């Protein structure tokens, strides 16, 4: 979709009509996640098409979920079932999506170690996560960064201490 770099808006007459707005981002992420973690098929209508939900879909495809091409009409997800995540071929990439990064930490916590790469960690830092990761202690920074200067790599998985 082409959005112009410069938009000029002028005042004029009344706004009238019926419109729709894009799908809710929070719910789009969660539908992809839970559909991937569920047994059987999930259908998703109204998904938000954007970089962030794409990051979530990419992570779960790498973990074995079959997710059809993303569109706002209909996406089908063949879930892998809790506990059946496959070993990804590469570092999982959460892109610039803070939601993907933080929710994936929870998804991966009870699985063997995986690596998660995230520009969002580099952008936002870990923030409140520092304070409680020692208590829940299942993830932490991995040595080296992700691909590219603006990514950070974390390792995630069931472990008693990260340090």
Map tokens 């998985």 to a residue: 157
Could you say whether residue 161 binds another protein (CB under 8 A)?
Answer: yes
Rounded to an integer, what distance in angstroms lies between the CA atom of residue 64 and that of residue 16? 46
Could you say whether residue 95 binds another protein (CB under 8 A)?
Answer: no
Which residue among 66, 110, 130, 141 contacts another protein (CB under 8 A)?
110
Rounded to an integer, what distance in angstroms lies between the CA atom of residue 80 and that of residue 65? 5
Rounded to an integer, what distance in angstroms lies between the CA atom of residue 111 and that of residue 134? 18
Which residue among 117, 119, 138, 152 contacts another protein (CB under 8 A)?
138
Assess contact for 32 and 94: CB atoms under 8 A. Answer: no
Binding segment toward another protein, per CB under 8 A, in 60-68, 81-89, 140-148: 81-89
Binding segment toward another protein, per CB under 8 A, in 59-67, 86-94, 111-119, 146-154: 111-119
Binding segment toward another protein, per CB under 8 A, in 31-39, 58-66, 87-95, 145-153: 31-39
58-95 in b/e form (b: 16+ CB < 10 A) is: bbbebbbbebeebeeeebebbbbeeeebeebeebbbbb
Q: What's the min distance (Å) between Cβ of 151 and another protein?
A: 18
Could you say whether residue 68 binds another protein (CB under 8 A)?
Answer: no
Could you say whether residue 48 binds another protein (CB under 8 A)?
Answer: yes
């Amino acid at each position: 979709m082409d959005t112009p770099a410069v938009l000029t808006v002028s005042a004029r007459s009344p706004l009238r009509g019926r419109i729709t707005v894009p799908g809710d981002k929070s719910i789009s992420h969660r539908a992809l996640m839970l559909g991937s973690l569920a047994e059987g098929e999930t259908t998703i209508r109204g998904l938000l098409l954007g970089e962030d939900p794409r990051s979530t879909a990419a992570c779960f495809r790498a973990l074995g979920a079959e997710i059809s091409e993303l569109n706002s009409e209909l996406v089908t997800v063949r879930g892998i079932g809790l506990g059946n995540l496959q070993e990804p071929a590469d570092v999982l990439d959460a892109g610039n999506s803070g939601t993907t990064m933080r929710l994936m930490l929870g998804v991966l916590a009870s699985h063997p170690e995986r690596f998660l790469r995230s520009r969002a960690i580099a952008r936002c830092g870990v923030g409140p996560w520092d304070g409680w990761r020692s208590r829940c202690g299942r993830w932490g920074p991995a040595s080296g960064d992700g691909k590219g200067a603006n990514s950070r790599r974390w390792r995630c998985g069931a472990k008693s201490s990260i340090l």
